[in-house]
Amino acid sequence: MNRLLPFLGFVALAVLLGFGLWWNRWHDPTAVPSPLINKPAPAFDLPQLDAPSRTISKASLLGHPYLVNVFASWCYVCGEEHPTLMTEAQRLGVPLIGYDYKDAPGDAKAWLAEHGNPYRLIVADRSGRTAMDFGVYGAPETYLIDARGVIRYKRIGPLTPDVIQHQLEPAIAALAKEAP
Amino acid sequence: MTPELGQLALVLALLLSLAQGVLPLVGAWRGNRALMATARPAAAGQAVFVALAFLILVWAFLRFDFSVQYVADNANLQLPWYYRIAAVWGAHKGSLLLWILILNGWTLALAIFSRQLPEAFAARVLGVLGLVSVGFLSFTLFTSDPFTRLLPMPANGADLNPVLQDPGMTFHPPVLYMGYVGFSVAFAFSIAALLGGELEQAWVRWARPWTNAAWGFLSCGIVAGSWWAYAELGWGGWWFWDPVENASFMPWLVGAALIHAQAITEKRGSLRAWTILLSIFAFSLSLLGTFLVRSGVLTSVHAFASDPRRGLYILCFLAVVVGGSLLLYALRAPKVMGGRPFATVSRESALLVGNLMLTVAAAMVMLGTLFPLIADAFQLGKVSVGPPYFGLLFPLLMAPVVLLLPFGPYLRWGKGEGGQLKSVLLRCGVAALACAIVAAFFVGGRLKAVVGVAAAVWVGVGVLLYVAKRWREMPRGRRYPAEMAGMLLAHFGVAVFLVGVLLSESLSVSRDVRMAPGDSQTVGGYQFRFDGIRQTTGPNWHAEQASVTVTRDGKPVDVMHPQKRTYAHEQVQTESAVDPGITRDLYVALGEPMDPARLQGAWALRVYYKPFVRWIWGGGLFMMLGGFVAATDRRFRVRREARERVVAGPVESTAREVRA
């Protein structure tokens, strides 16, 4: 019996590896799911970039779905993502809210003036403390939040036309279906 | 036309490997000498055809034959010739062909040098290698044919992954494969012994240099990979416990255990079953590494193209080879058992403890590597296992090995005496303690660094004491036979390695800084002044190159030139600048410009001061050297000649001579 142990151990290993092959046909092994998906978005109350005296809170946005796009003027990849947002944001059918992350307001405004502004409105999180509640890894990131304030989809890294077509649009379509 | 010749050569090689895998085994089973005699010609013929196929692929790369898909995927007109040759093994299909070429090289060497072995035994060994070759050749031909045509032929190809365009990367895979595949010899040996139902100590002696050499190659390959990661990836790290690194580290650990187990079995006849099991493990882990790398089952920083169909094939192959071997072991191991008992205080028990710790460490690495998969299977959520797990458990498991290491050579086979051990313990202990106290003042009491100094001195002094003892007690010429010199070198490598790891881990300083031209930063007592960016070009890239002047107390040390290269197809690759030194490395990596529109403005830079980091690879090279030197020992050959002389004599006398 003892001499069979290595063999039995290997059988268990082979089963595990076989499982891994099967599993990866249906799952993307590189995906890091956010623990917040299908959980209520954290409460926030952030000043607007253009008018710091007025704040936007989670409660004020309830009632219809919206996208939150984390960006910053110091973020190189955000610059690469930006043209996509400029062309695609309009036709998504949900408002796009900019989330200016750890940025000086002057820098952000200059950056938007240069590259264009695809956002319905922009909130500024200078300290990055609220971003921590969202679990932001770094800019750019995008969150889809539904009418009840629940995070339904999250993208780490830039939105590309491909990601929008294959991931974001289906997620938005799913929201539209359950709306009535 | 030529690529089709390559394909044909591979098909012929497959047919010959089938012949080499089946006929000699049947011959050994039936006692048919004619069938046994087919092993060597089949192996030679197969090697010729595989070499031909490999050369044809090299030729296709050299003359830019983009009608071959694999060439078009991995080279373009700007790629210099030396990287075009390296591109042959730059991706999956070609690296598989390289693996097969090396397997054939080892098999050929074995066919040439195995004339002293009993005919049936040699036939079985070569037969087993033939079967391994069947697996790999059919894998190549059916799932990863490097000669597939691409029509219409593109005017220019894609590019070799820029990460691989580095001298370290050109020879890392071949050397690593030399190690992986080298373990196939010990493996074939064990399977042959199990099939035949007997294991002579003399055969183990004959197998030992092959294992030592393979392990030396593997050490070198891992060092090259680690050095490359350090110099090329721009993170300043040298080991990341990434699945692909672990895949090479597991066979290395088991290989180290195997080297010692073989020594016990050869000299004392004990632990035969354990030696056989380790031989199977070492090669199985090499195959497992291939599976993990090529199947995409685990995520890794190494971007290998993966394909589930290939994964399934390797898994089936793994099941046949490893499952079959372990089943054979379960059924036949009792037949080859035997050997002498040994006392608690003896060289055998010390080696056995080391063996167990190395094997458990390999199992620990395997568990950590596969754990994300286990978590998926049992719905534990997405788990990533990284440095916190390995960094805690690995030192714990290796601590007993480090503690025992100085005593090994002093212990006698069978039983040891306590007196000498006490004096070694005393001297090593006092030296380690004294150095640790002195070091504590220099490193500001950082525990890891102090432990590093103590452990390295403990091992180093232990090795040097033994060197001195041999010098005093033995006559000139018999002081350090190659086997012992190899052992001492490798053990000394452990001491050097310990210095490198523990000191660089605890004393390194790294800083991410934003620097405008003219700005200075002080890191680790050195002043780094950023002097701006200029454009530069290479054969197939252009780059922004920074100029960083390093001074210490006003005296110039070096001018460093980290680069940010852009290759064809806009792939960006950092090229860090390293100022090497025995006691410290200075390391600067160029990040992003603060403003992409103004390259002459401020940049993000990463500056490191890394004390003793070079000793890590130095230690690895000592271990490699140890493996190679030990492999050259005359004893592994001389006895065989003696044996040949008595072959004509009565069988009993041969057996007695060998056992003596």
Pairwise pLDDT comparison (B439 vs B130), residue with the higher score: B130
* Residue B12: strand, helix, or coil: helix
Q: Are A64 and A97 in contact (CB under 8 A)?
A: no
Q: What is the pLDDT of residue B491?
A: 94
A7 & A42 share domain:
no
A115 & A85 share domain:
yes
**B229-246 tens-digit pLDDT:** 888 776 778 888 888 888
Interchain CB distance below 8 Å, B323 and A7: yes
Interchain CB distance below 8 Å, A30 and B299: yes
A22 & A82 share domain:
no
Residue B299, chain A, CB below 8 Å: the answer is yes
Amino acid at B362: A
Most confidently predicted of A8-17, B102-111, B574-583 = B102-111
pLDDT band at B658 (very low <50, low <70, confident <90, very high): very low
Task: Please count the other Cβ atoms lying within 10 Å of the Cβ belonging to residue A14.
Answer: 17
A106 & A130 share domain:
yes
For B1-161, CATH number?
Answer: 1.20.120
Q: What is the pLDDT of residue B299?
A: 62
Residue of B nearest to A34 (CA): B382
* Residues A155, A68: Cα–Cα separation, whole Å: 10
* Residues B321, B290: Cα–Cα separation, whole Å: 13
First and final CA of chain A: distance in angstroms?
63
- Which of A6, A11, A24 is nearest residue B297 as measured by Cβ atoms? A24
Interchain CB distance below 8 Å, B315 and A14: yes
Residue B374, chain A, CB below 8 Å: the answer is yes
Residue B379, chain A, CB below 8 Å: the answer is no
Per-residue pLDDT, averaged over B50-66, amounts to: 94
B102-111, B178-187, B343-352, B527-536: range with lowest mean pLDDT: B343-352
Residue B326, chain A, CB below 8 Å: the answer is yes
Using a CB-CB distance cutoff of 8 angstroms, which residues of chain B are in contact with residue A10? 284, 322-323, 326
A21 & A53 share domain:
no
* Residues B564, B574: Cα–Cα separation, whole Å: 5
Q: Nearest CA of chain B to the CA of A82: how many Å?
A: 14
Rounded (10°) CA dihedral B597, B599, B604, B607: 170
Q: What is the pLDDT of residue B494?
A: 95
A76 & A87 share domain:
yes
User: What ipTM score was computed for the predicted complex, to two decimals?
Assistant: 0.79
Q: Nearest CA of chain A to the CA of B62: how many Å?
A: 36
**B135-193 tens-digit pLDDT:** 999 999 988 899 988 888 888 888 787 778 888 778 888 999 999 999 999 999 999 99
* Residues B156, B158: Cα–Cα separation, whole Å: 7
* Residues B632, A115: Cα–Cα separation, whole Å: 68
Amino acid at A115: H
**B8-31 tens-digit pLDDT:** 999 999 999 999 999 999 999 998
A-interface mutation test, from B288, B293, B327, B337, most A Cβ less than 10 A away: B327
A44 & A119 share domain:
yes
Could you tell me which residues of chain A have a Cβ less than 8 Å from any Cβ in chain B?
3-4, 6-7, 10-11, 13-14, 16-21, 23-25, 27, 29-30, 32-33, 74, 76, 79
pLDDT band at B652 (very low <50, low <70, confident <90, very high): very low
User: What does the DSSP assignment read for chain A?
Assistant: -GGGHHHHHHHHHHHHHHHHHHHHHHS-TT----TTTTSBPPP-EEEBSS-TTSEEEHHHHTTS-EEEEEE-TT-HHHHHHHHHHHHHGGGGSS-EEEEEES--HHHHHHHHHHH----SEEEEESS-HHHHHHT--SSSEEEEE-TTSBEEEEEES---HHHIIIIIHHHHHHHHHH--
Using a CB-CB distance cutoff of 8 angstroms, which residues of chain B are in contact with residue A19? 373, 376-377
- Which of A11, A25, A32 is nearest residue B323 as measured by Cβ atoms? A11
* Residues B101, B107: Cα–Cα separation, whole Å: 10
Q: Is B39 exposed, middle or buried (0-12, 13-18, 19+ CB in 10 A)?
A: buried
Question: For chains A and B, what is the number of CB pairs under 8 angstroms?
Answer: 73
Percentage of residues in chain B with pLDDT exceeding 90? 41
Q: Are B268 and B413 in contact (CB under 8 A)?
A: yes
A53 & A64 share domain:
yes
Interchain CB distance below 8 Å, B326 and A25: no
Q: Structural domain tally of chain A?
A: 2
Residues 536-565 of B with CB under 8 A from A: none
Per-residue model confidence as pLDDT tens for chain A (180 residues): 578 888 999 999 888 888 887 877 766 655 555 667 778 888 888 999 888 888 888 888 888 889 999 998 877 778 888 888 888 888 888 899 999 988 878 888 888 888 889 998 899 988 778 888 887 777 788 999 988 888 888 888 888 888 888 888 888 888 877 765
Using a CB-CB distance cutoff of 8 angstroms, which residues of chain B are in contact with residue A76? 592, 596
Residue A26 is part of which domain span? 1-31
B99-108, B293-302, B504-513: range with lowest mean pLDDT: B293-302
For residue B533 the two structure tokens come to 């960016």
* Residues B593, B581: Cα–Cα separation, whole Å: 29
Q: What is the pLDDT of residue B659?
A: 36
Residue B219 CB partners (closer than 8 Å, separation 6+): B179, B252, B620, B621, B623, B624, B627
A14 & A72 share domain:
no
> Average pLDDT of chain B?
86
- Which of B273, B315, B330 is nearest residue A4 as measured by Cβ atoms? B330
Residue of A nearest to B332 (CA): A3
Nearest CA to A112 out of A142, A73, A168, A170 is that of: A73
Residue of A nearest to B334 (CA): A3
A68 & A22 share domain:
no
Per-residue pLDDT, averaged over B487-507, amounts to: 92
Q: Are B308 and A25 in contact (CB under 8 A)?
A: yes
Residue of A nearest to B383 (CA): A32
For residue B240 the two structure tokens come to 């990341």
A116 & A156 share domain:
yes
Q: What is the pLDDT of residue B653?
A: 36
Pairwise pLDDT comparison (B445 vs B388), residue with the higher score: B388
> What CATH number is associated with residue A72?
3.40.30.10
Using a CB-CB distance cutoff of 8 angstroms, which residues of chain B are in contact with residue A107? none
Residue B596, chain A, CB below 8 Å: the answer is yes
Using a CB-CB distance cutoff of 8 angstroms, which residues of chain B are in contact with residue A20? 295, 297-298, 373, 376
* Residues A135, B120: Cα–Cα separation, whole Å: 66
Domain ranges for chain B: 1-161, 166-333+347-404, 407-507+617-660, 509-612
Interchain CB distance below 8 Å, A27 and B376: yes
Q: Nearest CA of chain B to the CA of A54: how many Å?
A: 31
- Which of B312, B330, B382 is nearest residue A7 as measured by Cβ atoms? B330
Per-residue pLDDT, averaged over B203-207, amounts to: 85
What is residue B648's DSSP assignment? T
Interchain CB distance below 8 Å, A10 and B326: yes
Pairwise pLDDT comparison (B652 vs B115), residue with the higher score: B115
Q: What is the pLDDT of residue A139?
A: 77
**B287-342 tens-digit pLDDT:** 888 777 776 677 655 545 556 677 788 889 989 999 999 999 998 887 777 667 77
For residue B561 the two structure tokens come to 């030139």
